[in-house]
Amino acid sequence: MAPEPERELATFAAELETGAIPDRVRDRAGLTIADTLGAIVAGSTDDAVGALARRWTDGVSGGATVLGADGGETVPPLAALCNGAAGTVLELDEGHRFAAGHPAIHVLPALLADAEIGYGDSDAFVRSFVAGYEVAVRTARALGALRSGYHPHGVWGAVGGAAAVARSRGLDPGTTRSAMAIAANYAQHTRFEAATEGATVRNAYAGMSNLAALVAVDQAEAGFGGLENGVARHLEHAAENEVDAPALAADLGDRWELEHGYFKIHAACRYTHPALDAVAALPDGVDPTAVESVRVETYPAAARLTEPRPRNQLQAKFSIPFAVATALLRGDSGPPAFADEAITPEAIALAERVTVAVDDEIAARAPEQRGARVTVETADDRLSREVVAPRGGEHDPFDEARLESKFRELVAPVIGEDRAATLWESARAPEPPRVLCTLARR
């Protein structure tokens, strides 16, 4: 009799050895860890994230490091929450198009906090991260499209985080399975509107998943039992259709989901990226003051992001009209382009001249290819560019030099240029978690 998929996935995670992971996948793990650490350190400068970090580290000892600007120590679940929130606030953390979310930021903060206090070594750290990432993506793929209104952050990520922590602790398959089921029980009823309306509770969704992952593993190790087929049964309420349970264990050891993720350089929701890439492909010298109208044609999920008057940086990151306007005005789409200070009357006026619509041909290619066409009308000219798929993924990957440049731009202002360079090299290896945590705090 074939193993039940959830049991098979838990066994895979619990028994994954470093030697079973291909060299190219281990290298990709180091690159993903480095990129994610960069997003965390840079995002730690957010006012709300910093205030929470100070609240939870002031006079507290616990052995787990809160990374970045307000680096201190606290207990692992709170460190994991702070670091998870920091890693999402800039919208620069890696993602996976078939998971329709961001696996690494749901796995790394919990694993890092747990492995740091456990003095984990490099090999255990890498295999645990890979195990957690694979579980997170397969859980997301089994769920498929989420019910209308759900935001993917905070729904399936804790299952991957729990698998990573369980592997780091060397727990057996049965205990790992219980931890995954318990973590699924803690899935959040997230709302996509939190992002589109600028409610910054959304920035804590991934952090809460990391906290839940650690709690779930502690409970499983203490003897709490998980619901039979608990991953599917707890999460099915969030799925638009029936959970595809076989997808949990599909191609384990043959297809490595870690290889199919994407990296980001635009500091905004991934749905905005095809349009931003099309804007970047326009001829140099487009005068934004001469723009009469902009039309963006894209796929349905992206075409929902239409608010032209964002009230804060989170809402700005989930607005195609604002993203296009700020990119045209500034010639850039990094964090400053979406900061509160960038939401100027000039930017709003241009955003209000941007319309967004679904294009049937572009829609038919999603999710394999998520593209956009941008057409700019001026009094004297009409310029149009189409992008089949956004940069940073399998269709148009960034080379490592570009990702290292992104990392240094983000991290150097927080911890200094020399330490940023050292952290990049140490994370790429990667070095043991305690070394990384020491380097990644001011």
CATH number at residue 299: 3.30.1330.120
Please give the tally of structural domains in the chain.
2
Q: Which residues contact 326 (CB under 8 A, 6 or more apart)?
A: 316, 333, 337, 338, 342, 347, 351
Assigned domain for 152 exists = yes
Assigned domain for 421 exists = yes
- Whether residues 237 and 344 share a domain: the answer is no
Question: Tokens 């967004």, residue?
Answer: 356
Q: Which residues contact 108 (CB under 8 A, 6 or more apart)?
A: 33, 36, 37, 40, 83, 87, 129
Assigned domain for 72 exists = yes
- Whether residues 149 and 287 share a domain: the answer is no
The Cα–Cα gap between 301 and 255 comes to: 27
Q: Quote the pLDDT of residue 1.
A: 35
- Whether residues 383 and 409 share a domain: the answer is no
Q: Quote the pLDDT of residue 3.
A: 63
- Whether residues 239 and 293 share a domain: the answer is no
Pairing of strands 291-298, 372-378: antiparallel
- Whether residues 202 and 58 share a domain: the answer is yes
- Whether residues 258 and 278 share a domain: the answer is no
Assigned domain for 35 exists = yes
Assigned domain for 397 exists = no
Torsion of CA 145, 147, 153, 156, to 10 degrees: -70
- Whether residues 235 and 125 share a domain: the answer is yes
Assigned domain for 395 exists = no
Q: Which residues contact 37 (CB under 8 A, 6 or more apart)?
A: 67, 108, 411, 423, 427, 436, 440
Tokens matching residue 433:
């978690």
pTM score, whole prediction: 0.97
- Whether residues 122 and 233 share a domain: the answer is yes
Question: Tokens 């020399």, residue?
Answer: 418
The Cα–Cα gap between 170 and 180 comes to: 14
∠ CA 109-410-23, rounded to 5°: 55
Assign residue 182 the CATH number of its domain: 1.10.4100.10
- Whether residues 293 and 164 share a domain: the answer is no
Largest CA distance in the chain: 72
Assigned domain for 89 exists = yes
Assigned domain for 398 exists = no
- Whether residues 26 and 99 share a domain: the answer is yes
Torsion of CA 314, 319, 321, 325, to 10 degrees: 30
- Whether residues 274 and 259 share a domain: the answer is no
Burial class (CB in 10 A: 0-12, 13-18, 19+), 215: buried
Tokens matching residue 352:
């209000």
User: Within 10 Å of residue 27's Cβ, how many Cβ atoms?
Assistant: 15
- Whether residues 234 and 382 share a domain: the answer is no
Give which of 43, 96, 84 is closest to 270, Cα–Cα: 96
What is the chain's pLDDT, residue by residue, as a tens digit (442 residues)? 346 999 999 999 999 999 999 999 999 999 999 999 999 999 999 999 999 999 999 888 899 999 999 889 999 999 999 999 999 999 999 999 999 999 999 999 999 999 999 999 999 999 999 999 999 999 999 999 999 999 999 999 999 999 999 999 999 999 999 999 999 999 999 999 999 999 999 999 999 999 999 999 999 999 999 999 999 999 999 999 999 999 999 999 999 999 999 999 999 999 999 999 999 999 987 899 999 999 999 999 999 999 999 999 999 999 999 999 999 999 999 999 999 999 999 999 999 999 999 999 999 999 889 999 999 999 889 999 999 999 999 999 999 999 999 999 999 999 999 999 999 999 999 999 999 999 999 8
Tokens matching residue 337:
């382009």
| CB of 315 closer than 8 Å to CB of 195 | yes
Residue 257's domain comprises 5-265+404-440
